[in-house]
Amino acid sequence: MKTRQKPATSKLVARFDNELREIIMNDLKMIRGVRSFLRVIKTEQLSVA
């Protein structure tokens, strides 16, 4: 019966680091998008008034 080898710790840490970085970057992109959207809304409200 074959046993599955566990990945090296350094590979696990690198994978975790890459996934965490990707999550954080996606969150930052979303926050930037919301901020720019709010600026557009504020600008349009000021130009209408």
- SS3 track for 1-49: CCCCCCCCHHHHHHHHHHHHHHHHHHHHHHHHHHHHHHHHHHHHHHHHC
Give me the pLDDT at residue 7, please.
65
Tell me the whole-structure pTM to 2 decimals.
0.62
pLDDT tens-digit readout, 25-37: 999 999 999 999 8
pLDDT tens-digit readout, 1-49: 566 766 677 988 999 999 999 999 999 999 999 999 888 888 888 776 5
